[in-house]
């Protein structure tokens, strides 16, 4: 995992700003602002890792595609900030606070379009089908999350659709594109996509778990943020059928409360722990990681495929 991160991060770093070109200076300003705020560049790293796992060493024409997928991520962060009315992102003032909602919406549009444009130059139509489908699902997932706030009857199906849109489908597309760059084999492309989707879901499940269990100081924000915002996540969702009527009514009240008290939050946490919601979430994430690793069986056994296996395992071994 570490070797993958260090080696490919350095490789991608040089290219990350290169394909963001516009004659309109504000687009460069906003684009650079959000790209400079960093992040782990996990998406382009996944793209490169899959191509290399399939023995593709000459990746000159893959960089713009890897970068394009980071631009899609960036565009979704920009629109997300507008949608959430966020004040900060990665410890900096959010782009919407610095540049205004209007500028941020339009720069996001530009970055989405630029990403697809890069695919039309360096990629192929099969990749574009996969990636544009992913952008559709990302918008659907975010919208669904927004609409389900305060909804205590959220179904498991809708919950997973939200996770798909938040992280999983874009991870899937990254793996798909890296593989499609290296091989025509449909089954390999699909396995790569499935690997990405599954680790994305596991990643998000652990994020949702950490929101319940993490050390507030380590997390850098109060726990149970989702709950405070009226969002039901897996730790709670997984025990909804095990609740007494009284517990269910209480949780309904907390979920709909715009400013729940510290005591109420602690009480929900306790219920989740007692009914094993946290264990269930970890089990589900582990299950997905095992499925993801199974998808790698079709790939050659080398340094990169091993690193991809480690990456999947690392997700459920994070500190929580």
- How big is the site for its own copies, counted in residues (CB under 8 A)? 43
Interface with its own copies by CB under 8 A: which range of 132-140, 229-237, 287-295, 301-309?
132-140
Binding mask 215-254 for its own copies (x = CB under 8 A): ----------------------------------------
Binding to its own copies, residues 40-99 (CB under 8 A): 79, 82-84
For its own copies, the binding residue among 2, 36, 124, 266 (CB under 8 A) is 124
- Which of 163, 161, 162 is closest to 203 using CA atoms? 163
Pick from 54, 135, 272, 308 the residue near its own copies by CB under 8 A.
135
* Short-list 277, 291, 289, CA closest to 314: 289
Decide: helix, strand or coil at residue 223. coil
- Kindly provide the b/e burial profile for residues 243-280, where b requires at least 16 CB atoms within 10 angstroms of the residue's own CB: eeeebeebbeebbeeeebeeebbebbbebbeebebbeb
Q: Which of residues 1-30 bind its own copies (CB under 8 A)?
A: 22-24, 26-27
Within residues 140-159, the interface with its own copies by CB under 8 A covers 140, 142-144, 146-147
Secondary structure of residue 100 in the 3-state scheme: coil
Give the separation between CA 199 and CA 293, rounded to whole angstroms.
9
Q: Which is nearer to its own copies, 147 or 294 (CB)?
A: 147
Token duo for residue 206: 């652990």
Please state, in angstroms and rounded to a whole number, the distance separating the CA atoms of residues 266 and 262: 6
Contact 170, 200 (CB under 8 A): yes
Q: Which stretch, 138-146, 196-204, 243-251, 274-282, contacts its own copies (CB under 8 A)?
A: 138-146
Residues engaged in binding its own copies (CB under 8 A): 22-24, 26-27, 79, 82-84, 101-103, 105-110, 112-114, 116-117, 119-121, 124-125, 128-129, 132-133, 135-136, 138-140, 142-144, 146-147, 161
């Amino acid at each position: 995992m570490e070797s993958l991160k260090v080696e490919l991060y350095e490789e991608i770093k040089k290219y990350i700003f290169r394909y963001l070109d516009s004659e309109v200076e504000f687009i460069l300003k906003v684009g650079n602002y959000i790209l400079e705020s960093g992040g782990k560049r996990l998406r382009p790293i996944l793209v490169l890792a899959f191509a290399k796992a399939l023995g593709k060493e000459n990746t000159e024409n893959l960089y713009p595609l890897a970068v394009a997928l980071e631009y899609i991520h960036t565009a979704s962060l920009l629109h997300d900030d507008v949608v959430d009315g966020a004040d900060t992102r990665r410890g900096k003032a959010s782009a919407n606070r610095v540049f205004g909602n209007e500028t941020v919406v339009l720069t996001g549009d530009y970055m989405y379009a630029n990403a697809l444009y890069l695919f039309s130059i360096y990629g192929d139509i099969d990749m574009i089908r996969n990636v544009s489908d992913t952008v559709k699902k990302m918008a659907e997932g975010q919208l669904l999350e927004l609409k389900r706030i305060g909804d205590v009857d959220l179904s498991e199906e809708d919950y997973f659709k939200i996770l798909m849109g938040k992280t999983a489908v874009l991870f899937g597309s990254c793996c798909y594109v890296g593989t499609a760059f290296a091989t025509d084999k449909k089954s390999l492309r699909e396995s790569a996509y499935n690997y990405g989707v599954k680790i994305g879901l596991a990643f998000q499940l652990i994020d949702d778990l950490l929101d319940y269990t993490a050390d507030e100081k380590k997390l850098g924000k109060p726990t149970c943020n989702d709950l405070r915002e009226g969002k039901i996540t897996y730790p709670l969702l997984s025990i909804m059928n095990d609740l007494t009527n009284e517990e269910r009514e209480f949780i309904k009240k907390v979920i709909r409360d715009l400013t729940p008290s510290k005591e109420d939050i602690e009480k929900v946490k306790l219920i989740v722990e007692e009914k094993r919601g946290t264990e269930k979430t970890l089990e589900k994430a582990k299950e997905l990681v095992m499925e993801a690793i199974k998808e790698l069986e079709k790939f050659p056994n080398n340094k990169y495929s091993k690193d991809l296996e480690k990456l999947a395992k690392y997700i459920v071994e994070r500190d929580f």
